[in-house]
Structure 1
């Protein structure tokens, strides 16, 4: 992440004539005739990045000052802090790692002052920590900071990277005015140049994740449209800084690009700024608050974005008092395994907006197994209530309700009506993993009236809708076996019929009947510890043997109804 140098907006490419292509060949002899194809030859199929890559990049904190010991200290921290085990595996050194010129054989040379042991040894050190090693280059004659680029050296550089043990290549596209980018009035397409490196990496036989780090908004490019054929990830907009505004801009830029992302190919919202204090030393606004840090990881996870930290991942001792090492609180954000699991979900579908407006956003991402990750994101400077529904986020209707796992509070709640809501702090995000509750059923047992010792009975073993419910001598019949379900039903006949009020009425004295199960309020019951069986609390009615506690009201065939709860024995039931 760094600003472009001497950048001008490119002109729109025009159809090239044969004469123009000939002049291109003459002007760029180093490229070789075999590489002068108008478009990449084939789609990317390197088997990498089935889920969004995770790791660290040196630029945001160290810029051109990253060096060998810094990288080793970072690798040590990633391995010992839990980051590696949480999935952060790629450690990448950005621009300025090489000398200002190639050697006599045209090979890239690591800066001997910064990397005295060379990159082969450094890659080995990183690999020994259980991590993967990445470097930076550009499909131009020069990198963003003016070091040798890979244009015309794709095959040579790819072989060099493979020999060093490189696992990740960040491929930039700075210096739009670089003469190598143009021949006369023609522009050499970025997709073509990136395709050359893709093919060169593939030819080495070494698996290398290819990350396109261009600035599409500034350069008139749309890598999300063609990126899947070329790379494993690509930037969707310009560089972001460590401010909250930088996060919200990138989030909104990504909302309309979900169709392009998927296993092996991801929209990139740039480095994560959680724990990045480098700019905050001079500008307090250039860092995220704790709530904003949780928002960063939350929305990145729902948007299936690569999780590449730009923070100083060293211990305070390794930083020697001169750096901005990450705090324990910041590290805790990075290590939230529930949020990481959303980002790394194997289904590989990017989330989409459910609703946006007034800085209150609802984003949802379908997950493998049928759950949905729902982010309630508050971009404003004050706490706000944000609400949506299970149906709106794509969950099926459920008569049993939904479980809401809060992935930051680590609590679980239930929504019976499908409402998903929270009061979200300023700049914060509440991230839920939402699932339809499974229907569970208790073993079928008789319900015995305390006033008579007789069982709750469906008349004459009938199953037709509207069949009378009565009390009758207990006989073990299927019409006397009742099971309670997790959504509040009382079911008979092996679960095929429900106990309900006539016509769904919840008025005092309404008869109780057998019905097909429909999930209505008239079929909802709660078995209480005092023996009462009650309707939903707002109605306050009890399952009641008609006629009260007098002998005449407790004979075989006495009807059952709902009635105001009065504590009588004819409103208490036991299970056998």
Structure 2
């Protein structure tokens, strides 16, 4: 112990007294506030995307088990959420919601206890309307009782939907309905995450902070690329509205459900993480593949999504289908995503100065999917596959000499047409070497250029490939050589140099290749691998970088008369949004149009474009005629517009100016001998909604009275009345009557008055239908003032077994569309086979408590 050497005790006491207030915090100083609930985007599971209404206690418990055993719980997934259809159809005598005892014999409370015992949390589903989307009791007017019921059961998360909402459509009503449940949840005293699911209808990002912890920004996701791309485009610009405790929700994950490629599922996970979106798994984890589990369990990507700063990645650039997102991370790193929504390989890049990265002489990039580490000087770029996303974790780098440079390998390839190669050139397979060891194919006009080929009915085979190799690292790379690996039987030869002794920082080697394709090559998608080999750094280490481009081989249509909307164009350019098949253009998003309608005439087949559009189809000299109606769609004023059909470069038919409201004009184009078909719609101001209605292409010299493919068989057209349509559940209400107000076949359709909770409309058949050759059922509808859900079911066999798909296709108020259900999407009771030759009844489901017009129930 140190002694006090001569210092007075009083002085020591005084000095302690002086420092005491510094050593002891004042009693009045407030403790830091706790983090908000849902401080990071919620992670977990929901059954709807994979199971729909087929939810039960066993599924939920087994999913909880898998979350733990697979390591997904440790990765951050904690909520196990039950969606719609968990309750009985009626409330109990005390007014409370009642779990279906067949599905949940332990009740929701028993399931919650099991889930909690696993260290996980339980979610439930409710609806801010009188009925849920599947027709079960909603919580509108029952908020206090339902919130307390869920709290008593031990629920930790509420997804609150928007069906049958009785709304006047105003934002004020949406705020009122969702605030009522927020206040009811608060009064329970239980901590419950509140997920507002009103589909982005009232722009909840502008009002729901402080009410919900997350809010849907879009309509329902589907397990296909068009849906994913559309949702990314809608949600990405909303970064300013997200943060800890309040998140933009672009809907649940479809990863693993089979409708997309692995590349598209990685984009799904990547963009959700970059957008700080909730990660709610929507696949059957009990049977998920190793690839699916690896995508869902990517710890580096989850860390980006769950970063404690809670910032949604901002859109830095968005042009021609290529998007760059920049997301700041705790600790100073940034996540940079390079997203390619186009249908071919593309080089996506951004200058570091355009991001939030602080200035440095070099930057270290870690690819969160591969783990590869590279360095760049001032530009982050990569060859990104079609529908793919590259995500880097980026930080400044002091010594770039020890890290491999980032080398971006890109490629572009026009249309590939099979055909004869040069007689003087022997066929060669495998990679083309940098010195041109693989001989070149015959020179030809490369199909897929902006100018269509005009050489005649049999253009030379192959196409033109352009490769680019760009050094983005600090310091030159040396001994660069490029190789193109083509499918067996194909040829590839560089027409320009494919080798460079030295490539400086930000310099590019561009090489043009001639690709030869055998004449008997089937239409399809074929990979071409482009590899750059080089040396880098003071020690001249060897390295390679590769990208893959998909060659799309097109062939002429088969013999027959076909709806042109069933044939994919080789190229498609449109001024506003995508060209839509069998619907009008609608707007900037996929599948946002109505049934094509020109001067009141409704068409179920066609192409919805805007003026400033061009579509190109390869005919190969095998087709003879195109017949189509053209006009301005009723959904939007505009025009006049001019429609022109080109056979190669010759105008084969032209409409002259067509005004809005004018009856459709019929064009007949002679395509004899043409290699290419082009459809062009033009006007003084681009963007007018221009329709190609019911275009039919004739190929192979078939007679003009041949049936148009795919063949359609009308089951009910309502020309003679209601055709016996009735109600499946009389107690639920609804009426039917013949009506001329909407028809897509004949002069009449069916007007259906729907109950709020919905009903099935159709009829049992006196004679069974044989639909053996059909693959789908369809019907057309036009919604009234409140919109509607549409679905199709059948009954089969002597027992009239009910087979239903569980798809709920929504149509907005005053909008129209075709509702489709494939037979392979229909589920029958256990032990029942869906015998298409023995269909005993056909039913369509409609709801929301308004009038709906339908027509042309058919099999195709």
Checking the alignment, whether the CA contact within 8 Å between 1:46 and 1:202 is kept in structure 2 is: no
Q: Give, in whole Å, the separation in 2 of the partners of 1:272 and 1:136.
A: 17
| CA spacing shift, 1:188–1:359, aligned 2, 3 Å | closer
Q: 1:386 to 1:265 in 2, by over 3 A?
A: same
Indicate the residue corresponding to 1:423 in structure 2: 383
CA 1:73–1:237: 2 relative to 1, 3 Å: same
1:145-170 alpha-carbon deviations (Å, 9 max, x no partner):
11111111111111111111100000
Q: Give RMSD over aligned pairs.
A: 2.5
8 Å CA contact retained: 1:248, 1:379: yes
Tell me the SS of whatever aligns to 1:116: coil
SS in 2 for 1:240: coil
Counterpart check, 1:267 vs 2:248? yes
- For residues 278-427 of structure 1, the aligned pairs below 5 Å read 287-314=259-286, 325-399=287-361, 401-415=362-376, 417-427=377-387
Q: CA separation in 1, counterparts of 2:186 and 2:163?
A: 24
Structure 1 position 91 matched with structure 2 position 91: no
**Equivalent residue pairs, number:** 377
Query: Which whole-Å CA distance do the structure 2 matches of 1:297 and 1:537 have between them?
Result: 35
Q: How does 1:197-276 map to 2 (within 5 A)?
A: 197-216=181-200, 220-276=201-257
Contact 2:36 2:244 in 1 (8 A): no
**Correspondence list, 1:113-124, <5 A:** 113-124=102-113
Q: How far apart in 2 are the matches of 1:76 and 1:235?
A: 28
The structure with the largest alpha-carbon Rg is: 1
- Residues 543-554 of structure 1: pairs in structure 2 closer than 5 A: none
Write the mapping of 1:108-187 to structure 2, written as runs, cut at 5 A.
Answer: 108-176=97-165, 178=166, 181=167
Match of 1:30 in 2: none
Alpha-carbon deviation of 1:188?
A: 6.9
Q: With structure 2 as the length reference, what TM-score do the two structures score?
A: 0.42
TM-score, normalising length from structure 1? 0.63
Distance, in Å, in 2 between the alignment partners of 1:329 and 1:241 is: 20
Counterpart position of 2:594: none
Q: 1:78 to 1:525 in 2, by over 3 A?
A: closer
Aligned to 2:393: 433
> Matches of 1:206 and 1:157 in 2, distance apart?
13
Within the candidate set 174, 188, 193, 1:190 is matched to 174
1:104 to partner: Cα distance: 1.1
Q: Tell me if structure 2 keeps the 8 A contact 1:169–1:211.
A: yes
Aligned residues of 2:91 and 2:97 also touching (Cα < 8 A): yes
- The 1:292–1:115 alpha-carbon spacing in structure 2 relative to 1, beyond 3 Å, is same
Separation (CA, whole Å) in 1 of partners of 2:208 and 2:80:
22
Q: Shift in Å at residue 538 of structure 1?
A: 7.3
Secondary structure of 1:161's aligned partner:
helix
Residue-by-residue CA offset, 1:383-434 (whole Å, 9 max, x unaligned): 11111121112212113x100010001011111x221011111211110011
How far does residue 106 in structure 1 lie from its aligned partner after superposition?
A: 0.7
* 2:42 equivalent to 1:70: no
Cα distance between partner residues in 1 of 2:251 and 2:210? 20
Give the direction of change, closer, same or farther, for the CA distance of 1:104–1:188 in structure 2 (3 Å limit). Answer: farther
Paired with 1:383 and 1:364, the residues of 2 have a C-alpha distance of: 21
- Separation in structure 1 between the aligned mates of residue 396 and residue 353 of structure 2, nearest angstrom: 11
Give the drift of 1:293: 1.1
After superposition, the Cα gap between the structure-2 partners of 1:439 and 1:136, relative to the gap in structure 1 and judged at 3 Å, is same
Structure with more of its chain in helix, by fraction:
1
Corresponding residue for residue 36 of structure 2: 47
Structure 1: tracts of 5 or more residues without a match: 1-44, 278-286, 315-324, 441-483, 487-523, 527-535, 540-576
1:422 to 1:116, Cα distance in 2 relative to 1, 3 A? same
Secondary structure of residue in 1 paired with 2:53: helix
SS at structure 1 position matched to 2:319: coil
Cα distance between partner residues in 2 of 1:394 and 1:327: 37
Q: Aligned-pair distance for 1:255?
A: 2.1
Task: Say which SS state the counterpart of residue 229 (structure 1) adopts.
Answer: coil
TM-superposed CA distance for 1:186, in Å, is: 8.6
Q: How does 1:532-547 map to 2 (within 5 A)?
A: none
Pairs within 5 Å for 1:388-537? 388-399=350-361, 401-415=362-376, 417-438=377-398
Greater relative contact order structure (CA < 8 Å, 6+ sep):
1
- Contact (CA 8 Å) 1:137, 1:143: kept in 2 or not? yes
Per-residue CA deviation, residues 305-326 of structure 1 (Å, 9 max, x unaligned), is 0001111111xxxxxxxxxx31
C-alpha spacing 1:187/1:435, structure 2 compared with 1 (3 Å): closer
1:59 paired to 2:48: yes
CA contact (8 A) 1:46 1:207 kept: no
- Partners of 2:170 and 2:202 within 8 A in 1: no
Distance 2:271 2:504 in 1: 38
- Aligned partners of 2:395, 2:172: CA distance in 1, in Å? 49
Task: Find the residue that maps to 2:353 and give its secondary structure.
Answer: coil
Give, in whole Å, the separation in 2 of the partners of 1:538 and 1:381: 30
Partner of 1:571: none
Bigger share in strand: 2
1:256 Cα shift? Answer: 2.0
Q: Does 1:102 align with 2:91?
A: yes
Q: Using a 3 Å threshold, how does the CA distance of structure 1 residues 525 and 54 change in structure 2: closer, same or farther?
A: closer
Report SS of the residue matched to 2:209: helix
For residues 447-504 of structure 1, give each alpha carbon's deviation from its aligned partner in whole angstroms, at most 9, with x where no partner exists: xxxxxxxxxxxxxxxxxxxxxxxxxxxxxxxxxxxxx999xxxxxxxxxxxxxxxxxx
Taking structure 1 as reference, are residues 112 and 188 closer, same or farther at Cα in structure 2, changes over 3 Å only? farther
Write the deviation string for residues 118-167 of structure 1: whole angstroms up to 9, x where unpaired. 01110111111111100000111211111111111111111111111100
SS in 2 for 1:189: helix
Residues 404 and 434, structure 1, Cα contact 8 Å, conserved in 2 = yes
Deviation at 1:296, TM superposition (A): 0.8
Q: Give the distance between the partners of 2:255 and 2:196, measured in 1 at CA.
A: 22
